[in-house]
Amino acid sequence: MASSLSRRRFVQLGGLVAAAPAAAPVVRSRGGTRPIVIASANGHRFRHGGPRTCVEEAFLHLSRGGDVLDALLAGVRILELDPEETGVGYGGLPNADGVVQLDAAVMHGRLRRAGAVACLEGVRTPSAVARAVMDHTDHQLLVGRDAQAFARRMGFPIEEDLNTPTSRRLWLEWRRRIDPEHWLDPARRGEAGERAARQMLAEGLLDPHSFFGTVFCGGLSARGEVAAATSTSGLAWKIPGRVGDSPVVGAGLYVDGAVGCAGSTGRGEANLYHLSSFLIVECLRQGMHPKDAGLVALRRIREGVTEKRLLNARGNPRFNVTFYILNTRGQVAGVSLYAGPHAAFAVCTEQGAQTLPCEGLLGPDEGPEVPA
């Protein structure tokens, strides 16, 4: 049974951790496990007009003794509903045809269950649909129109279009740059699309995180239970139907209740080849610190890139991948192929929420962070 705190003690604690969002004493187990939430950097950036960010909301639920996955989804929902976050949920950057297609996955360590959706259209909160797949079916992944039909049967409202004025404006700008007069032939269109995206990134029209667009959120409860969730609109202006790593268990996220969890953002195709989140959790099982486990996966990705179009002049990948890792001892790490201003992760404990720099396998000058 969790220990309680006196009102006086709680007031004293609140004064020490004014940045913490919790309005109730932090519930702890007899073993002293401290709740913690880790997320991609956007997890401590958007509030959807409310008082808390994703990690703060998730920690608030954990501090009150809530289920770890329920807590994480309460946080992720903030990003999914916020139209200012153009990499997740409502207002996420659309595919090449201007249609917002969303992916999400959830995984619960104690229950040893997972659920996911891919290419889901018309539902602002795909992570909640992924949870419904986990709870109400014997399956793990539903896709496309059938995922939407399932969501409708589960009572989720279906909208015709999830674009916002911002996401539509950016898509139209991209289309204008790749095809100012008419459709290009297939051989030229791909090159033009990549060139236009690079220009928009260089001009500051696009946030590099939003271009790949994902939120990962993992948590450890006072009961020592671990869970994780991802949600994304996927690669901006992707080929319709493209699915990256986010909804794929073992790639975009993986949880083992005995050791911890891991998740990713960045180029999903690079991550899919190596099932990196599973690899990281297996390294945790061997006793590695989260940072060391993440670096193992990053080295595997770097060594696995052989296509010249994906390499820069130094022979390094022309893209970035970031991992967010938490073990059951409460140790966390954010690691990235390239260190730099966009390589960061968010953490929330009873001391409050903060954004921290990721450990880079390579320096920021060893490879540009551009889409490929």
What confidence score (pLDDT) does residue 342 get?
A: 81
pLDDT (tens digit per residue) in 272-305: 999 999 999 999 999 999 999 999 999 999 999 9
Q: Looking at the predicted structure, is the pLDDT value of residue 238 above 50?
A: yes
pLDDT over threshold 70, residue 326: yes
- What is the tens place of the pLDDT at every residue in 136-177? 999 999 999 999 999 999 999 999 999 999 999 999 888 888
pLDDT band at 195 (very low <50, low <70, confident <90, very high): low
Q: For 102-135, how does the pLDDT look when each residue is reduced to its tens digit (9 = 90+)?
A: 999 999 999 999 999 999 999 999 999 999 999 9
Compute the distance between CA of residue 348 and CA of residue 118 in angstroms, rounded to an integer: 29
Q: Is 306 a catalytic residue?
A: no
Which position among 33, 86, 214, 265 bears the catalytic label? 214
| pLDDT recorded at residue 193 | 65
Q: Is the pLDDT of residue 181 over 80?
A: no
> What pLDDT, on a 0 to 100 scale, did the predictor assign at position 19?
39
Q: What is the pLDDT of residue 189?
A: 54
For residue 208, pLDDT beyond 90: no
SS3 annotation, the chain: CCCCCCHHHHHHHHHHCCCCCCCCCCCCCCCCCCCEEEEEHHHHCCCCCCCCCHHHHHHHHHHCCCCHHHHHHHHHHHHHHCCCCCCCCCCCCCCCCCCCCEEEEEEECCCCEEEEEEEECCCCCHHHHHHHHHHHCCCCEEEHHHHHHHHHHCCCCCCCCCCCHHHHHHHHHHHHHHCCCCCCCHHHHHHHHHHHHHHHHHCCCCCHHHHHCCEEEEEECCCCCEEEEEEECCCCCCCCCCCCCCCCECCCEEEECCCEEEEEEECHHHHHCCCHHHHHHHHHHCCCCHHHHHHHHHHHHHHHCCCHHHECCCCCECCCEEEEEEECCCCEEEEEEECCCCCEEEEEECCEEEEEECEEEECHHHCCCCCC
**What tokens does 231 get?**
């949600």
Six-digit token string for 172: 């139209």
Class of domain 7-162+206-364: alpha beta
